């Protein structure tokens, strides 16, 4: 490989990763550890973003961007908040049954927007909490408290209650109306949710819940690429920001002679192929301009653009190959592919940086970019940044550079236990278990 390119890539990744991490320093409340969903004024906290932040603080320490004590202080602030905040069925609580509301007030930590008690976002928060519980292993009172709080917060989550009387786990609950009567269907970001729920020492999901979920999987050959289908890219990335699925297989992947890591690579290939085909004729789509995922969008309206009548959407989960696709990509999605398909990821990121720099303001990737809408003025761009995107980027880049988060979670007993209960075996899972 050309050393100059290699050096350039290394510097580029360092620059972009550090800029992404900067979001958590710029948009967090250091008193309670809460982190804003977006950089927009008045944005509430998203508990999932806190989960990503907690996972990124150790990375920042390792990279020398912040001091360990500073990271510990931020982590401790958040863990203390989640431990002490109100857990009840009152509509203005912070959580209930160990779960938390999706969006909280940045100052008070109370529920906002009449949002749902979110099962998946609690799982993402807990993933960050467990990272802290493993990584902060120094023998001092601060880090000892982090470890204790992390364990206590994970143990108290009542996953069994969250089934809401269904076979699989519900997506959410509201005091106003009870459980949402739909669960998880088809492959998506819920893998980590199931792993954590299966491993719970106090409220473990029955092992067959995972099989009930995987029974809804769709293994499809699209553009001659056989893979486990999930339309938006984030579904293939989120769980793998924490868990290293290389070489370990559950029953489904054993049947298909594949693993979830390889599957993500194939999903990326499908996205690139779709962009090359560009069936709707959107501007800029191609082998280095792709990445349909959950993200911000121009808003729900029908407009005439580029000589055709077009329909656009707001924040929604765009996907390939069945849509929805309104010409909006998540600019961060290509770079977030780095652990799985580094050449494609870097080529795509460079394409944006060199040809569409508006989509990477201050080296941070925006949530949505649509070059078809307002094509004459450079396209539509989402305002500001979303914390989820930044966190995923920091973690994905770091896993590519050093397997960092993956190594941490391999040491987490709950993750190993959850994987085993879900039927995963082989690879590092067997080696870790043998070494114990």
Partner 1 sequence: MPRDTYDLVVIGGGPAGLAAVRGAGHKGKSVALIERNLLGGNSQNAGSIPSKPLLRTARWYADLHNGEKFGGPSLRDIGPDFGAAMARMRRIRARLAEGNSAQRLKAAGVDVYFGAARFAGDDSIDASGQTLRFRKALIATGAVPSHPSIPGLAEAGYLTSDTIFDIPECPKRLLIVGGGPLGCEMAQAFQWLGVHVVIVQNEPKFLPLEERDAAQLLSDALARCGVEIHLNTTIAAVRCDAGAQYADLINNDVKSTIAVDRILAGVGRKANVGGLALEAAGIDHADAAGVRVNSFLQTSNPHVYAAGDVCMEYRYTNAAEASAAVALHNAFSPGEEKVEALTIPWVTHTDPEIAHVGFYIWEARRKGIPVGTITILMHDVDRAVTDGEEDGFVKIHFEDGTDRILGATIVGRHAGEMISVLALAMTRGTGLRSLAKVVFPYPSRTGAIAMAAEAFVRTRVSRGNRSARDLGVDPRPGIDDARKILD
As a whole number of Å, the CA-based R_g of the chain is 21
Q: Which of 64, 139, 309, 436 binds partner 1 (CB under 8 A)?
A: 309
Closest separation between CB of residue 220 and partner 1, Å?
4
Q: Which of 350, 401, 407, 432 binds partner 1 (CB under 8 A)?
A: 401
Closest separation between CB of residue 403 and partner 1, Å?
8
Distance CA 300, CA 105 (A): 27
Which CB, 71 or 162, lies closer to partner 1? 162
Closest separation between CB of residue 21 and partner 1, Å?
17
Distance CA 323, CA 129 (A): 34
Q: Does 223 help bind partner 1 (rule: CB under 8 A)?
A: yes
Closest separation between CB of residue 181 and partner 1, Å?
8
Closest separation between CB of residue 153 and partner 1, Å?
27
Q: Does 324 help bind partner 1 (rule: CB under 8 A)?
A: yes
Return the percent helix, strand and coil in the chain, to nearest 5: 50, 10, 40
Distance CA 309, CA 304 (A): 4
Q: Does 268 help bind partner 1 (rule: CB under 8 A)?
A: yes
Distance CA 397, CA 365 (A): 13
Distance CA 310, CA 373 (A): 9
Q: Does 266 help bind partner 1 (rule: CB under 8 A)?
A: yes
Which CB, 40 or 277, lies closer to partner 1? 277
345 to 374, contacts with partner 1 by CB under 8 A? Answer: none
Distance CA 60, CA 55 (A): 9
Q: Residues 247, 253, 254, 258: is their CA dihedral positive or negative?
A: negative
Q: Does 92 help bind partner 1 (rule: CB under 8 A)?
A: no
Q: Does 400 help bind partner 1 (rule: CB under 8 A)?
A: yes
Closest separation between CB of residue 246 and partner 1, Å?
9
Q: Does 167 help bind partner 1 (rule: CB under 8 A)?
A: no
Within 10 A of 435 (CB to CB), how many other CB atoms are there?
A: 7
Q: Which of 139, 224, 354, 436 binds partner 1 (CB under 8 A)?
A: 224
Q: 6: number of CA atoms within 13 Å, CB side?
A: 4
Within 10 A of 61 (CB to CB), how many other CB atoms are there?
A: 18
Q: Annotate 306-317 with DSSP letters as a single string.
A: TTEEEEE-SSEE
- How distant, in Å, are the alpha carbons of 164, 278, 312, 399 from that of 378? 47, 19, 17, 33
Q: Which of 112, 160, 225, 303 binds partner 1 (CB under 8 A)?
A: 225
Q: Does 4 help bind partner 1 (rule: CB under 8 A)?
A: no
Interface with partner 1 (CB under 8 A), residue total 53
- How distant, in Å, are the alpha carbons of 53, 140, 228, 291, 297 from that of 236? 20, 37, 10, 12, 20
Q: Does 56 help bind partner 1 (rule: CB under 8 A)?
A: no
Task: Tell how many helices (H) and how many strands (E) occur in the chain.
Answer: 16, 15
Closest separation between CB of residue 142 and partner 1, Å?
32
Closest separation between CB of residue 125 and partner 1, Å?
22
Which CB, 162 or 341, lies closer to partner 1? 341
Which CB, 342 or 357, lies closer to partner 1? 342
Q: Does 308 help bind partner 1 (rule: CB under 8 A)?
A: yes
Stretch of 96-104, 162-170, 217-225, 406-414 contacting partner 1, by CB under 8 A: 217-225
Q: Does 89 help bind partner 1 (rule: CB under 8 A)?
A: no
Q: Does 247 help bind partner 1 (rule: CB under 8 A)?
A: no
Q: Which of 166, 222, 303, 374 binds partner 1 (CB under 8 A)?
A: 222
Q: Does 110 help bind partner 1 (rule: CB under 8 A)?
A: no
Distance CA 353, CA 345 (A): 12
The answer for 378, left when phi > 0, alpha when psi is -120 to 50, beta otherwise, is left
Q: Which of 24, 340, 386, 428 binds partner 1 (CB under 8 A)?
A: 340
Q: Is 413 within 8 Å of 66 (Cβ atoms)?
A: no
Q: Is 298 within 8 Å of 328 (Cβ atoms)?
A: yes
Distance CA 144, CA 43 (A): 32
Closest separation between CB of residue 96 and partner 1, Å?
15
Closest separation between CB of residue 301 and partner 1, Å?
12
Binding residues for partner 1, rule: CB under 8 A, are 1, 6, 9-10, 13, 114, 116, 174, 176-177, 180-182, 185-186, 215-226, 255, 262, 265-266, 268-269, 272-273, 277, 279, 308-309, 311, 321-324, 339-344, 400-402
């Amino acid at each position: 490989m050309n050393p100059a390119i290699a050096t350039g890539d290394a510097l580029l990744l360092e620059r972009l990763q550090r800029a992404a991490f900067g979001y958590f320093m710029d948009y967090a409340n250091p008193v309670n550890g809460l982190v804003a969903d977006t950089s927009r004024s008045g944005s509430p906290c998203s508990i999932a973003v806190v989960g990503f932040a907690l996972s990124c603080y150790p990375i920042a320490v390792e990279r020398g961007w912040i001091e360990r004590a500073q990271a510990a202080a931020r982590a401790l602030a958040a863990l203390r908040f989640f431990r002490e905040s109100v857990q009840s069925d009152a509509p203005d609580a912070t959580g209930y049954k160990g779960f938390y509301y999706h969006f909280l007030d940045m100052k008070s930590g109370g529920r906002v927007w009449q949002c749902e008690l979110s099962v998946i976002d609690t799982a993402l928060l807990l993933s960050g909490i467990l990272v802290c519980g493993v990584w902060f292993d120094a023998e001092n009172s601060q880090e000892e408290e982090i470890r204790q709080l992390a364990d206590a917060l994970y143990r108290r989550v009542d996953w069994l209650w969250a089934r809401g009387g269904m076979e699989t786990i519900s997506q959410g609950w509201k005091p106003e109306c009870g459980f949402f009567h739909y669960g998880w269907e088809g492959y998506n970001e819920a893998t980590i949710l199931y792993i954590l729920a299966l491993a719970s020492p106090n409220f473990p999901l029955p092992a067959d819940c995972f099989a009930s979920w995987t029974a809804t999987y769709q293994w499809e050959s699209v553009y001659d690429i056989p893979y486990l289908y999930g339309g938006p890219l984030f579904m293939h990335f989120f769980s793998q920001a924490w868990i290293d699925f290389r070489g370990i297989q559950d029953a489904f992947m054993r049947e298909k002679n594949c693993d979830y890591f390889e599957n993500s690579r194939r999903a990326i290939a499908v996205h690139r192929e779709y962009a090359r085909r560009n069936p709707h004729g959107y501007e800029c789509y191609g082998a280095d301009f792709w990445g349909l995922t959950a993200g911000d969008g121009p808003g729900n309206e029908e407009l005439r653009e580029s000589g055709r009548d077009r329909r656009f959407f707001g924040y929604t989960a765009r996907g390939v190959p069945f849509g929805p696709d309104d010409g909006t990509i998540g600019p961060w999605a290509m770079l977030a592919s780095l652990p799985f398909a580094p050449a494609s990821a870097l080529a795509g990121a460079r394409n944006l940086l060199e040809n569409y720099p508006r989509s990477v303001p201050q080296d941070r990737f925006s949530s949505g970019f649509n070059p078809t809408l307002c094509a004459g003025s450079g396209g539509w761009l989402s305002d500001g940044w979303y914390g989820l995107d930044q966190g995923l980027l920091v973690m994905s880049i770091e896993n590519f550079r050093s397997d960092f988060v993956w190594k941490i979670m391999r040491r987490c007993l709950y993750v190993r236990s959850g994987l085993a209960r879900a039927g995963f075996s082989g690879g590092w899972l067997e080696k870790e278990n043998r070494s114990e």
